[in-house]
């Protein structure tokens, strides 16, 4: 029943680039930040539904695959679901098409009321205006003993980290300097105390750092 976060960040800690527009909803630097993750076989299979066997199978793929293991519920912020990009569109159903890669209940934190969204593959989005502790309690209720993932975005992840609610944080550090965007580590002084840290460098150059307790 661990609470887990996985994020890609730049060397300067940027987890969410600037410059988002409806045409470029992830922002100008997103491609460099997720290139090695998006190149994995797991990403090809789970997100792109490409079962041709394409994609890398090294260290990056091992982390990508672990990302999907044993998750019983997910929590994300309104921005990650797309509600900041499409605030007035009642038909918006997220970025992921008809097969969102979650397959579990997903709680979206937002102050706008919306009816739940159900998908045939087991993904169910429920929209809530509540606290980190309360949404976590609700996620535990539906997770069936499996882990809970805080999907993002970075401000939601930081809220859970600052509240001491996270059991495992994995960051894939891409060795690039972005210099602008939302940084993960701000206001998390000495967050690391109380965690074990392990680090590993992938063939791609991405540095995988995991804090566990």
Q: Which residues bind its own copies (CB under 8 A)?
A: 11-13, 175-180, 183, 185-192, 197-201, 205, 207, 209, 211
| Cβ-based nearer residue to its own copies, 35 or 207 | 207
Helix 132-142 and helix 154-162, axial crossing angle in degrees, nearest 10: 90
Q: Is residue 150 within 8 Å of residue 156, measured between CB atoms?
A: yes
- Chain position carrying tokens 């894939």: 172
CA–CA gap between residue 15 and residue 9 (Å, rounded): 4
Give Cα 40 to chain centroid, integer Å: 16
Q: How far is the CB of 157 from its own copies (least distance, A)?
A: 13
Q: How far is the CB of 113 from its own copies (least distance, A)?
A: 36
Q: How far is the CB of 128 from its own copies (least distance, A)?
A: 29
- Beta strands 3-10 and 117-118 are unpaired
| Cβ-based nearer residue to its own copies, 1 or 197 | 197
Instruction: Return the half-sphere exposure (C-beta side, CA atoms, 13 A cut-off) of residue 143.
Output: 25
Q: How far is the CB of 14 from its own copies (least distance, A)?
A: 9
CB burial class (10 A; 0-12, 13-18, 19+) of residue 77?
A: buried
| Cβ-based nearer residue to its own copies, 31 or 175 | 175
Q: How far is the CB of 176 from its own copies (least distance, A)?
A: 5
| Cβ-based nearer residue to its own copies, 10 or 110 | 10
Sequence-ordered list of residues with C-beta below 8 angstroms from that of 25, at least 6 positions apart, any chain: 82, 85, 95
CA–CA gap between residue 213 and residue 200 (Å, rounded): 18
| Cβ-based nearer residue to its own copies, 34 or 188 | 188
CA–CA gap between residue 49 and residue 179 (Å, rounded): 33
Q: How far is the CB of 211 from its own copies (least distance, A)?
A: 8
3-class SS of residue 56:
strand
| Cβ-based nearer residue to its own copies, 142 or 209 | 209
């Amino acid at each position: 029943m661990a609470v887990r976060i996985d994020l890609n960040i730049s060397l300067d800690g940027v987890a969410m680039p600037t410059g988002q527009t409806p045409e470029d909803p992830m922002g100008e630097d997103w491609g460099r930040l997720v290139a090695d993750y998006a190149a994995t076989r797991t990403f090809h299979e789970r997100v792109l539904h490409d079962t041709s066997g394409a994609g890398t199978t090294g260290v990056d793929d091992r982390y990508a695959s672990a990302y999907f293991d044993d998750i019983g519920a997910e929590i994300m912020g309104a921005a990650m679901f797309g509600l900041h990009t499409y605030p007035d569109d009642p038909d918006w159903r997220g970025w992921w098409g008809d097969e969102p890669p979650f397959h579990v209940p997903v709680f979206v934190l937002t102050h706008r009321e919306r009816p739940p969204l159900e998908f045939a593959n087991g993904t169910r989005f429920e929209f809530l205006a509540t606290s980190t502790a309360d949404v976590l309690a609700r996620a535990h209720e539906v997770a069936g003993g499996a882990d809970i993932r805080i999907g993002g975005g970075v401000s939601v992840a930081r809220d859970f980290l600052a509240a001491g609610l996270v059991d495992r944080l994995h960051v894939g550090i891409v060795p690039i300097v972005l210099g602008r965007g939302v940084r993960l580590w701000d206001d998390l002084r000495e967050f690391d105390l109380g965690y074990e840290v392990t680090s590993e460098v992938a063939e791609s150059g991405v540095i995988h750092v995991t804090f566990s307790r």
